[in-house]
Chains A and B, each alone.
Chain A
């Protein structure tokens, strides 16, 4: 079946540090890949997505590139802010099966 493996957390960084959260996947079909973010007390929000190999999704300074050869979709940001503190989930869907399969989430805390 489909699965997503995420970098274990929690992750604590200083403001303006570089962020990488690793994500790898296995999928029975050709997946679309997503990063969702969950701020404290809120629901999940789509952060970015990529639907085919070598696509780069980007939003709010975050980026992730769909790497089919390494089955990865790592999340990066060049300079994090305190407001980026949240839980980040990597997820996938496959064509014909649009349910989201999530990783376990990575809690990110940014300290001033």
Chain B
């Protein structure tokens, strides 16, 4: 069964360091999402891609976060520099097209110390 792949599963980093997460969506899925889930809260959208284009990054802290989806397939989310408040689960999801089911990866749990 096709899955959204994310790596790493867990990451511990020191504040002020750079960190990057990778996501490989289900093959053929045009839409890719990055969500952040702070402990005890629901996921919140950071950025949405349609193919290689960003369609919504209104909640992405652009002073420290960046995301790219070169060639419209896999995607990388970067934080530089990391802050203590960035500790969270980072979830990637993909969907075939608009208004279709989003499939989630297992997430990357980031701890900033």
Contact = CB atoms under 8 A, between A and B. Distances in A.
Interface of A: 4, 6, 32, 36, 41-46, 49, 89, 91, 93, 95-96, 98-100, 102-105
A99 B33 contact: yes
Interface stretch (B12-20, B63-71, B78-86, B95-103): B95-103
Contacts of B91: 43-44
Contacts of A98: 31, 48, 95, 98-99, 102
Interface in B28-77: 31, 33, 35, 40-45, 48, 56
Interface residues of B, number: 24
Nearest to B59: A99
A-side interface mostly: strand
A81 to B, nearest CB: 23
Contacts of B99: 32, 93, 95, 98
Interface string B89-113: 0010101001101111111000000
B4 interface: yes
Contacts of B106: 41-43
13 contacts: A6-B42, A42-B106, A43-B4, A43-B107, A44-B91, A46-B101, A95-B99, A98-B98, A99-B45, A100-B35, A100-B102, A105-B41, A105-B42
A102 B42 contact: yes
B41 A100 contact: no
Given A32-B99, A98-B99, A89 B104 contact: no
Contacts of B35: 100
Nearest to B50: A98
B42 A103 contact: yes
A98 B101 CA distance: 10
A99 B42 contact: no
A6 B44 CA distance: 15
Contacts of B101: 46, 49
A44 B43 contact: yes
B43 A102 contact: yes
A36 B104 CA distance: 10
Nearest to A6: B42
